[in-house]
Structure 1
Amino acid sequence: MAVEESRIQAHKDGLEIDQGLFCGAVLHSPTAGRHLIDTMALPTPRALELLDGFRATGRVELASVLLERRGPAAYVEFRNAQHLNAEDNRLIGDLETAVDLALLDDRVRVGVLRGGEVDHPRYRGRRVFSAGINLKALRNGEISFIDFLLGRELGYISKMLRGLLPEPTEVTWPDPRRQKPWIGAVDTFAIGGGMQLLLVLDRVLLESGAFLSLPAAEEGIVPGLGNLRLRRLTGARMARQIILGGRRITGDDPEVRLLCDEVVPAALMDAAIEASVAELAAPAVVANRRMLGLSEEPVDLYREYLAEFAVIQATRTHSEDVLAKMERRWRRTLSRR
C-alpha cells in the first residue's frame, strides 16, 4: 500500500478494491459489522491528547480546522482555504478530531459547522461551506479509501449522527454514546460531500444566494451516504433529480425547505446561528434527536448500506470512465495556467 499510495490514481494497481471487498464483507456480517461501527465511534488518540487543552482554553487550531467554544456551542470552521474548503485526507482527519473534542467536552451542548474564508480568486474573502471532495487530490492518488472514502462515513459523520463512545464497552443498552445536536451554516455553496454533511444535521441555515448540489454522478462516483439519506428528506423523485441529474437547489427553489430550515441574508447569518444554538441547547433536544435517529436510520440499515457502498465506491474510483474524466479535468486546469 505504501507503493500504491505514491502513485497517481490512474497508475495504481487497484489494491483499494481489495480493501473495499474486505471491508464490505466485514460490514455485511451483523456481528463483525457492528463491532467495526462501534470501534470507529471511539475518540481518536489525537483528540484525547488535545482534550485537556481544549477544556481549559476553549480553542484548538488544527492544520485545516479551527475549533472554538463560545458559550454552549463548539464552532467547527473548515479552513482549507486554497481549495474552497474541499475535503481531503488532512481535512477529514482534522474534522474527526474537532468533532470528538466537541462531543467529549461537557461544556459544549451544540456543535456548529461553517466554512471559513477562502483564497480562490472568484470567492476571495468570502466564506464557503465546502466544495466537496478535492478532485485534484483524487486524480493524484491522494484520497485514501480507508481513511477518507470509508473512514469519513464510519468516523466523524457517524459520530455527529449517532454519537461518540467515550471508551470501549460491552454495554449496548442503554445506549452509552454521547450525542449532541449539530447546526450547519452554509455560505456560498455546499457541493458534494458538503451537501452530504447537511443530511445528518439537526438545523441547516442557508445563505441567500447559496446553492446545494451532489454532482457525484457527473464525476462518476457515489455521493457517500447521500443515496440513503437524501430521499428521506426530499422523496424519491427529487432525490433522483439531484443525484442522477445533477439538479442544483438554490434558496429561491420552493423545495429548498426540504433541505434547510431557514434561508438567511448574509448579514443576518451570525444572529441566525446564535438563535439556533439557544434553541437546540434545550435539555430535551438530545433525547429527542436520539429517538429520531433510531426511527430514521437504524444501525443495521446503515451497516448494510455501507457494506455495498464499500465495494461500489472502491470500484468506481478505479473505473476507466472516472479516471478519464479526472485526467481531462486535470489537463484543462494545466492549460489555463
Structure 2
Amino acid sequence: MSRASSPTAGAGQAWPAPVPGFTGALDADARLLESYTAAGEQLLSGLPLRSARDHGQQRRADDALEAMRAARRAFLGLHAEDVYARLTDGCTVHLRLPELVHAAADRFPGLVPTRAQLAAELEHRQADKDGREIDQGIFCGAVLRSARAGRHLIDAMLLPTPRALELLDDFRAHGRAELASVLVERRCGAAHVTFRNAHCLNAEDNRLIADLETAVDLALLDDQVRVGVLRGGEVDHPKYAGRRVFSAGINLKELRNGRISLVDFLLGRELGYINKMMRGLLTDPAPGASTDRMTQKPWIGAVDTFAIGGGMQLLLVLDRVIAESQAYLSLPAAEEGIVPGLGNLRLTRQTGARLARQVILGGRRIEASEPAGLLLCDEVVPAEGMAEAVERAVRELSAPAVAANRRMLSLAEEPVDLFREYLAEFAVAQSVRAYSDDVLQKVERRWQRAQSQS
C-alpha cells in the first residue's frame, strides 16, 4: 500500500486518503484537488512546528505532505498545459515566474502554496519549514515539461524586468546605475557589472539575483553598450580584505535561515539573468526568428581570487573568461548537497564527461593556471594585468559579427528544448534537495561554526 493511500493519520481520521480519481475534466478535477488538499491542510494545522514535533507527529505530517504532492502530480499530469493556458489567457499574457505561481494559487486552490503560507514559512529557518516550495517545484516542472507552456514561460522570463525599464532612461543618459548589491557603469562601449555583496564574499542571495537581472537588462537595452563585463568587487572578509572576489556561490547562511527562494533565486537566476546572457533579451514577444525578436551581446567574465558554485556556473555561459593566475574554480555540490544549477548540463561541453564528474561529484577544485583551467578560462594573467586583458577582450568582442555568431553557437550548443527539459527536472530535484536532511544538517553545522568564530 502506498503512503498516499495508507490510513496513518491520528485522531481517528482515515487520512491520507487515496489520491482522488481525477476524470480529465479540468474544472471538476480542480474541485477534487481543492477538497483533497484542504483535508491535508487541516491535519497539518493541528501539528506543532516541525522542530517541536515528536516522531509520530512528523510521520503524520510527512504522510500528509506526500499525499497532497501525489495528488498534485496526478492533477498536473493531466492538466498542466490547460492550467497554464488558463493562467495566461491562452498564452497571450506573459507572466514572470513569481506572478505565475501566485496566479496559480489564486485560480486553483490547493495546487501551490498561497502567499500567506509562503510568508508564514519565511518566518522560520529552513529546517523548521514543511517545504511548501517543493509544491512550487512540482508545478514549475510540470509547466516546463510541456513544450507549448514551457517555451512560453521561457519567453516570459526573457522579457525586460519592470525595474530595468524604469531605470533605462537614466542609465542611457548617465551610463551608471547603482543598485543595492550591483554597480553598472558604461565605459567605452562596455557595461561593467560589478558584484558588491562585500559582506559575504559576493555570495548570491535573493537581492543579488534581482539586481543582476536588472543590470543585465540595462546592458542589453542600452544601444551604446556593445559588450558586457562581469567582475566581483572588493570584499570585507579579513582574509581577502581589499581584494576583488568574483563569487563565493550561494549564500549558505541565507539558505540555513530560510531566505533563499526557489522561485526568485534557484529557478529565477536560471530562467532570468543567466539565460538572458546566454540567449539574449526578448524585445518583441511576437512569433518570428530570434534575430528579429532578441537583443544579444557578448559577455566577458573577469575572475579574481575564486569563482565558487554559482560563480563557476556563470562562467559556462560567457564568451570570454579572463582569470588572474592565482584564481581557482569549484562546484562544491557534493559538499553542499544541492544541484549546481545548470552546471551538470553545461560543464561537460567544456571539460568532457570525466573531468565534469570529478568536479561535480568529487568536488575537484581547478586552479586557473593548471592545464584543466584552460578548458574553462580563455586567458590567465597576473593580477596586475587583469584590467588590460579585459579592455583587450572588450575591443575584440565589439566586432559587429560577434553577436550574430555567438547566437548561432548558443543555438547549436544548447537548443531551447534541451534547456527546457533539463529545467523541468531541475525544478523538482532542486526543490527537494533544498529541504533534504543532509543539506539541512550541513548548513546548520556551517552556521554553528561561523557563530562560534564571530
Q: TM-score, normalised by structure 2?
A: 0.73
Offset at residue 174 of structure 1 (A): 4.6
Give secondary structure in 2 for the equivalent of 1:206: strand
Give secondary structure in 2 for the equivalent of 1:190: strand
Which residue in 1 is equivalent to 2:140?
Answer: 23
Deviations, residues 88-140 of structure 1 (Å, cap 9, x unaligned): 00000000000000000001000000000000000000000000000000000
> Is the CA contact (8 Å cut-off) linking 2:368 and 2:377 kept in structure 1?
no
Which residue in 2 is equivalent to 1:308?
Answer: 425
Which residue in 2 is equivalent to 1:70?
Answer: 187
CA distance in structure 1 between the aligned counterparts of 2:369 and 2:325, rounded to whole angstroms: 8
Q: Does 1:321 align with 2:444?
A: no
Which residue in 1 is equivalent to 2:261?
Answer: 144
Deviates more, 1:243-252 or 1:136-145: 243-252
Which residue in 1 is equivalent to 2:338?
Answer: 221
Give secondary structure in 1 for the equivalent of 2:321: strand
The code of the aligned residue for 2:307 comes to A
Deviations, residues 251-288 of structure 1 (Å, cap 9, x unaligned): 23111110000001111100000000000000000010
Which residue in 2 is equivalent to 1:56?
Answer: 173
Higher helix content, 1 or 2? 2
Greater RCO (Cα-Cα under 8 Å, separation 6 or more): 1
Match of 1:171 among 288, 291, 305: 288
The code of the aligned residue for 2:440 comes to L
CA distance in structure 2 between the aligned counterparts of 1:277 and 1:316, rounded to whole angstroms: 39
RMSD, aligned α-carbons: 0.8
The code of the aligned residue for 1:6 comes to E
Match of 2:349 among 232, 246, 261: 232
CA distance in structure 1 between the aligned counterparts of 2:291 and 2:196, rounded to whole angstroms: 37
> Is the CA contact (8 Å cut-off) linking 2:182 and 2:212 kept in structure 1?
yes
Deviates more, 1:1-10 or 1:68-77: 1-10
Offset at residue 6 of structure 1 (A): 1.8
CA distance in structure 1 between the aligned counterparts of 2:371 and 2:202, rounded to whole angstroms: 27
Deviations, residues 151-184 of structure 1 (Å, cap 9, x unaligned): 0000000000000012432335555111000000
The code of the aligned residue for 1:44 comes to T
Which residue in 1 is equivalent to 2:453?
Answer: 336
CA distance in structure 2 between the aligned counterparts of 1:139 and 1:51, rounded to whole angstroms: 35
The code of the aligned residue for 1:31 comes to R
Give secondary structure in 2 for the equivalent of 1:284: helix
Match of 2:304 among 187, 210, 230: 187
1:195-214 correspondence runs (5 A):
195-214=312-331
The code of the aligned residue for 2:258 comes to G
Match of 2:243 among 111, 123, 126: 126
Runs of 4+ in 1 over 2 A off after TM superposition: 167-175
The code of the aligned residue for 1:63 comes to A
Q: Does 1:94 align with 2:211?
A: yes
CA distance in structure 1 between the aligned counterparts of 2:238 and 2:142, rounded to whole angstroms: 45
Deviations, residues 215-248 of structure 1 (Å, cap 9, x unaligned): 0121000000000000000000000000001001
CA distance in structure 2 between the aligned counterparts of 1:218 and 1:122, rounded to whole angstroms: 22
CA distance in structure 2 between the aligned counterparts of 1:188 and 1:253, rounded to whole angstroms: 15
1:150-169 correspondence runs (5 A):
150-169=267-286
Give secondary structure in 1 for the equivalent of 2:124: coil
CA distance in structure 2 between the aligned counterparts of 1:327 and 1:64, rounded to whole angstroms: 25
CA distance in structure 2 between the aligned counterparts of 1:317 and 1:10, rounded to whole angstroms: 10
Offset at residue 325 of structure 1 (A): 0.7
Which residue in 2 is equivalent to 1:109?
Answer: 226
CA distance in structure 1 between the aligned counterparts of 2:284 and 2:134, rounded to whole angstroms: 31
Structure 1: 5+ residue runs without aligned partners?
none
The code of the aligned residue for 1:165 comes to L
CA distance in structure 2 between the aligned counterparts of 1:220 and 1:112, rounded to whole angstroms: 30
Match of 2:157 among 40, 50, 57: 40
Q: Does 1:13 align with 2:13?
A: no
Q: TM-score, normalised by structure 1?
A: 0.99
CA distance in structure 1 between the aligned counterparts of 2:308 and 2:203, rounded to whole angstroms: 9
Give secondary structure in 2 for the equivalent of 1:111: strand
Q: Which has the larger radius of gyration?
A: 2
The code of the aligned residue for 2:348 comes to R
Deviates more, 1:308-317 or 1:164-173: 164-173
CA distance in structure 2 between the aligned counterparts of 1:138 and 1:169, rounded to whole angstroms: 38
The code of the aligned residue for 2:414 comes to E
> Is the CA contact (8 Å cut-off) linking 2:284 and 2:294 kept in structure 1?
no
CA distance in structure 2 between the aligned counterparts of 1:5 and 1:154, rounded to whole angstroms: 23
Which residue in 1 is equivalent to 2:103?
Answer: none
CA distance in structure 2 between the aligned counterparts of 1:27 and 1:255, rounded to whole angstroms: 34
Structure 2: 5+ residue runs without aligned partners?
1-117
Match of 2:202 among 85, 92, 103: 85
Which residue in 1 is equivalent to 2:382?
Answer: 265
